[in-house]
Chains A and B, each alone.
Chain A
């Protein structure tokens, strides 16, 4: 199975900060990587697909990028509603696999 390593596992940042979360793949997956935001009591919400594409309805402060086997989710200016756990998911091959998540909190 393809392993996705997310870092950091948790972080705390201030409102307005620029925040970057990282996901590293154990093997090549091209751009077949998505990011999800998960808040308690709600289903995971797609944020980014195909590594860099913003999902419908997602604020433009979110962006995705790729450098080789490293993928990043960046929030340009952190807002209070961004508190959540963020997961990366590879869908290049089955079984689909998730990263272990980054818990993002507001200071």
Chain B
């Protein structure tokens, strides 16, 4: 069974970087696309970007140059880095496998608060 699990700090200071890890079991990240999605307080959801089976990436233009998604295929993990965070980046962050039908398997989510 495909399982994803996010991990990382729950509190980040403004202007610093947010770094999260998604650990995948039951499926290789060298297949498919692997994305990050976040849900804000107030329930808005935003697709942030993906890293593909080949290591190519695609990002939401709304995040401009602040975002980076990388991977470690030896550990079957992929990573999110979001720079220069503000309080508006406070959200629950999910990693997900992206299929032709959209994101199908999701992690449980990790809540990240940006606060001094």
Contacts and interface: CB of A to CB of B under 8 A. Distances in A.
Contact of B102 (A38, A49, A85): A49
Interface stretch (B10-18, B20-28, B81-89, B106-114): B106-114
Interface in A71-101: 85, 87, 89, 91, 94-98, 100-101
B47 A97 contact: yes
Given A95-B60, A95-B62, A43 B106 contact: yes
Contacts of A89: 102-103
Q: Is the interface of B mostly helix, strand, loop or mixed?
A: strand
Contacts of B101: 34, 46, 49-50, 53, 55, 91
Given A49-B101, A49-B102, A96-B102, A43 B107 contact: yes
Interface residues of B, number: 21
A44 B94 contact: yes
Interface string A34-63: 100010001110100110010100000000
A101 B43 contact: yes
A51 to B, nearest CB: 10
Nearest to A46: B104
B73 interface: no
Interface of B: 35, 39, 43-47, 58, 60-62, 94, 96, 101-104, 106-109
